[in-house]
Structure 1
Amino acid sequence: MTRWSLDDLNRRLVRYADLIPCRTAFVDTKTPGSTEKENFTIIGPGVSENADQHVHIAEKHGFNIGGARQPFGCINSQHSHDTAEVFVVHSGRWRLLFGPNREDGSIEVGPGDVMSAPTHMFRGFEKIDDGKGFIFFVLGQDDPGKVVWAPAVLEAAAENGMRLARGGRLIDTSQGDYVLKDVELEDVADADKLASLKTPPLEKLRECVVVYGSAVANPQSALAGDGVEEAGVIVPQRTSDRFEPGPITGWWPHDFNLRQLTLQSGAFVPRHSRREVEVLFVHEGVLEVGWEDGSIVMGPGDTMTVPVGLPHSFRNTSSARTVVFVVRGTENPSLPTFN
């Protein structure tokens, strides 16, 4: 059996305080209203258009983990994804905006709320309360592709010197007398493409939201115990670890499950291992992850990827409850093995 040292596991931990942002990740970087956003790639390459974007953990997981931090009024422009995009709000209040020109309605979300945005539709988001806020993202597949921008976004970007080469490579023409030579630019979505990215009805999109505190604990969860609850948030199908579909199932592939694990003060999950990838994101409280050769204490905003097959335990070492969002690889996770 592989032995995992403290150094090994620390390399699989990304603390919130150590996140390295990119302020020039996307084509709207210099568009007024979007200049203050910070983008993060935590696990996997994400969808950044800037080769200088720092990737914290490059190991393939079958999905990508990222984040965005924005101040009041800052907008992440209208775009569409080819794979799943899940928003987990860590802090702040946000407005999710739908349609190529934000004309198809909006949904407001706050700390702990989750939305899975359907593929092949335009969405954007803006921070709507004071101070900075942070959203944790899960993107489907190892290669989530590149985003499709609404035509108005590309037009505004070009007016501010930012262009996209074919394949999604960012070009900054704002400095000096830059001339585009031998560069094939990315196509702007035409009428047929826009029609294929039609926004579902707003009431349908509301089915893709789970308000914090509304997820129902599953008493059949293998992790459930004294002071410990696990609730499904995104469960596309009935799973081998005894979860029924919902509350978010989606009519598009996710390729993962999202769960909410809650531990009351002092609660403990005995040592167990899993057959699939497991990524932990601490939303509130403190979580101690222990294994044979050490332990790590995680705090709010910290992300950790647990090695497949590693026997590990969870403990809430604080006097308040701990809430952790857990991404489990595959749409059909197996039961854990208790060691």
Structure 2
Amino acid sequence: MSNIENHIVRYGDLKPCKTAFIDAHTPGSDQKENFTIIGGGVSESPDQHVHIADQIGFNIGAAGQPPRCRNSLHDHNTAEIFFVLKGKWRFFWGRWGDAGEVTLEEGDIFNIPTGIFRGFENIGTDYGMIMAVLGGDDAGGGVHWAPQVIKDAADHGLVLGENGVLYDTKKGDVLPHNVNPMPLMSDEDLDKRAEPTTADVLPNHVARYWDLMALSDNQPATVIGADAILRDRPGFEVDFLSRNSISPDVHTHDQNTVLMPVRGHWKISIQGEESVLNPGDTCLIKAGEAHSVTPSMTGEASLYRIRATDDPAGLTGSVH
């Protein structure tokens, strides 16, 4: 394998984990697949495969689900954004998932506010895939489940220990003698969580693909950042580039950079080696590496570019 291929995780080579989270046996959520592409990820299962384990300041992952499969209500300590690669998805939020919702289609991006429970469901007619960026290197240290999710999981044999490890009682697993079950969130902590409406969330947290295509006609559209369309400082910034806004010149970045094509095929050169990126592929470019990227064929071409920043990956993007 050439060196450049070590930078790339191909969509067709993604290895799913079907036991990544506490709701893996819960009806309605038991067919979902979780992918950890770059970084340690957020899985609660030792079965999770990590494609590129480098710590780059943020994590890249994905969720794949058949129609009507949903991901249960949860929260993270740090930023979580999604863009839709394939299909049509409903995102919902709040203590019971009924505070607000938004439907996203291919290429749309959602910077989910912190401090609220969120879930998502594939409402399309075929297998769907959403790509995720999570703030910080230790994204696995801050997943909180709504109490009803933990109760439902226990009814179907899965118990989450306070050590963050899943135990499957259907397989004969038992919690070690010195590990207690993960406690349910207290009423006091639940009361601190925001319940924003769709009108609260939509203007400042969602960007639509065709709007970004128009905005990136002459220059990259800065989607998430301090002065971006969606203003936030989650420890990384997100740009959207299309055919006419990308420079073919060889250049470097001071930060670790990830390229994630949405449409079209892209010729990528890193340190003089060349390859082609396709939709669903993920490419890591380390800080200081000389590279260039250009569309390799005519037609629609777009990609998301994520770069680490010096901002702390903390409680950003909240709605109160």
Instruction: Judge same fold: TM > 0.5, yes or no.
Output: yes
Q: Per-residue deviation at 1:101?
A: 1.4
String of CA shifts for 1:36-69, please: whole Å, max 9, x gaps: 1000000111110002200101111100000000
String of CA shifts for 1:179-198, please: whole Å, max 9, x gaps: 54523111101111111222
String of CA shifts for 1:95-118, please: whole Å, max 9, x gaps: 001112112121111101000111
In the superposition, the TM-score normalised over structure 2's length comes to: 0.91
Q: Which structure is richer in relative contact order (CA contacts within 8 A, separation 6 or more)? A: 2
In the superposition, the TM-score normalised over structure 1's length comes to: 0.86
Correspondence for 1:22: 17
When you count helix as a share of all residues, which structure comes out higher? 2
Q: What amino acid is the match of 1:150? A: A
Call closer, same or farther: CA 1:318–1:306 in 2, change over 3 Å.
same
String of CA shifts for 1:230-275, please: whole Å, max 9, x gaps: 111102x2xxxxxxx121113xx4111000011159x751111111
Separation of aligned partners in 2, 1:51 and 1:208? 33
* Aligned pair partner of 2:148 in 138, 146, 152: 152
Root mean square deviation of aligned Cα: 2.0
Which deviates the most, 165-174 or 30-39?
A: 165-174
Separation of aligned partners in 1, 2:134 and 2:61? 8
Correspondence for 2:212: 215
**Pairing 1:190–2:169 present:** no
Correspondence for 1:224: none
Separation of aligned partners in 2, 1:167 and 1:149? 14
Correspondence for 1:256: 236
- Which one has the largest radius of gyration? 1
Q: What amino acid is the match of 2:121? A: E
* Aligned pair partner of 2:119 in 124, 145, 155: 124
String of CA shifts for 1:259-296, please: whole Å, max 9, x gaps: 0011159x751111111111000111001111453201
Aligned residue pairs, count: 308
* Aligned pair partner of 1:306 in 285, 294, 312: 285
Separation of aligned partners in 1, 2:138 and 2:271? 34
Q: Per-residue deviation at 1:215?
A: 2.7
> Does the 8 Å CA contact 2:86/2:130 hold for their aligned counterparts?
yes
Q: Show structure 2 runs of 5+ residues with no match.
A: 312-320
Percent identity of equivalent pairs: 38
Call closer, same or farther: CA 1:192–1:216 in 2, change over 3 Å.
same
> Does the 8 Å CA contact 1:79/1:148 hold for their aligned counterparts?
yes
> Does the 8 Å CA contact 2:100/2:197 hold for their aligned counterparts?
no
Q: Show structure 1 runs of 5+ residues with no match.
A: 1-5, 220-226, 238-244, 333-339
String of CA shifts for 1:196-228, please: whole Å, max 9, x gaps: 222223222112000112137778xxxxxxx76
> Does the 8 Å CA contact 2:4/2:270 hold for their aligned counterparts?
no
Q: What amino acid is the match of 1:175? A: K
Correspondence for 2:77: 82
After superposing on structure 2, the runs of 4+ consecutive aligned residues of structure 1 that deviate more than 4 Å are: 178-181, 216-219
